[in-house]
Amino acid sequence: MQFGVHLPQIGVAWPGAEIARFARAVEEMGFDAVWASDHIVFPLNVRSRYPYAESGDFPLSPAAPWLEAVTTLAFVAGATSRVLLGTTVLVLPYRPPVLNAKMLGTLQVLSGGRLVLGVGAGWMAEEAMALDMPWDDRGRRTDEHIQVLRVLWGQEDPRFEGRYYRVAGVRCEPRPSVMPPIWVGGHGMASLRRAARLGDGWHAVGLPPDELAESWRRVQDMARECGRDPAALVLSVRCLLRFRDKPRPDDRPLAGTPEQIVRWLEEYRRIGVGHVLLEPPLRPGPEVALSVLERFAREVRGRLA
């Protein structure tokens, strides 16, 4: 099981030097990846329902700082040498697919093949409107978007003819020698189907082991129906990391005592989770976040059989 760490690029305003120091420290502690989330602007009035909170409310205000994901990963790539560089997740309809192919392909080439591309169709219609990007049929657009990326990265004479996107008579060089794996995010049935049909993996957010296992079985079943090998897909999950001195009735992965966290991770591994993305507390500052990660490495990771 691999462990990644979310970068301090959302909800906090750390200087670039501190972000680079944080990424290097994460790499030196032996973590496997660093991750960045994707939003571009925050509308002042949002009616769209946030799908990863029971209330439906997004946890940050429009005034919260949020560094652009791909730019941040490019910056961090230059400060590190080993860790994977992941998006959790890049909202594909927010950008044209050919532009994404160029930016992400460049990052893959310059980083030496370290990109993991988590993708999604998005949930905030108001943000798409502010970007003047189409929102209708965003699921089908996302499906085509994934195919365009692979065509531009994988073919010398790339050609794609879809309902929304067309590619012919162009090249997007240099193409990465290793194509970035694409992990599809989202918990809805359409997202699970997309992961099964087009993804190299499924990237979940905050689901406890029992709920994760049920949805993962669906992804695997649908992959078989599509003639794909379910064993070739990666299962990843993104979780808050908070240490408690005592258990609480409302504890959810991974907020609890070290013993609880170890048990949750053991359950995740039995389900088939290959990568866990940890979100340490970032608002208190670098030293607190790094101390929590050091504690995880010392009291949790070392106890996993």
Per-residue confidence at 142, pLDDT binned at 50, 70, 90?
A: very high
Q: State the Cα–Cα distance between residues 61 and 64, nearest whole angstrom.
A: 5
Q: Give the whole-angstrom CA distance, residue 291 versus residue 243.
A: 11
155-165: per-residue pLDDT in tens?
Answer: 999 999 999 99
- Helices and strands in the chain: count of H runs, count of E runs: 9, 12
Domain 2-303 classification at class level = alpha beta
What is the band of 290 on the pLDDT scale with cuts at 50, 70, 90? very high
Confidence bin at 305 (pLDDT 50/70/90): low
- Three-class DSSP category at 253: coil
Q: What is the pLDDT of residues 221-259, one digit of tens each?
A: 999 999 999 999 999 999 999 999 999 998 999 999 999
DSSP code, position 245: S
Rounded-to-integer distance, Cα 5 and Cα 297, Å: 12
Residue 152: which of 117, 101, 113 has the closest Cα? 101
Domain boundaries defined on the chain: 2-303
Rounded to whole angstroms, the Cα distance separating 280 from 297 reads: 12
Give the start-end residues of each E strand in 128-272.
160-161, 166-167, 182-185, 201-205, 234-240, 242-243, 255-256
**What was the pLDDT predicted at 300?**
98
Angle at 56 between CA 292 and CA 218, to 5 degrees: 80
153 with 174: CB under 8 angstroms? no
Contacts of 65 (CB under 8 A, 6+ apart): 10, 11, 12, 13
φ/ψ (deg, to 5) at 257:
-75, 165
* Residue 111 confidence class, pLDDT cut points 50, 70, 90: very high
* Residues in Cβ contact with 22 at an 8 Å cutoff, skipping those fewer than 6 apart: 7, 8, 14, 286, 289, 290
CA distance linking residue 152 with residue 94, whole number of Å: 18
Q: Which helix (H) or strand (E) holds 47?
A: none
pLDDT category at 47 given cuts 50, 70, 90 is: very high
For residue 282, which amino acid is it?
A: L
- Predicted local distance difference test score (pLDDT) of residue 8: 98
Question: What's the whole-number mean pLDDT along residues 72-83?
Answer: 98
pLDDT at 208: 97
Distance in angstroms (rounded) separating the CA atoms of residues 207 and 126: 26
Segment 166-211, tens digit of pLDDT: 999 999 999 999 999 999 999 999 999 999 999 999 999 999 999 9
Rounded mean pLDDT, 64-84? 98
Span 133-146, mean pLDDT?
95
The letter for the amino acid at 59 is P
Q: Determine the average pLDDT of the residues in 46-67.
A: 93
What is the predicted pLDDT for the residue at 174?
A: 97
pTM attached to this predicted model: 0.97
Region 15-35 average pLDDT: 98
Q: How far is CA 45 from the centre of its chain?
A: 25
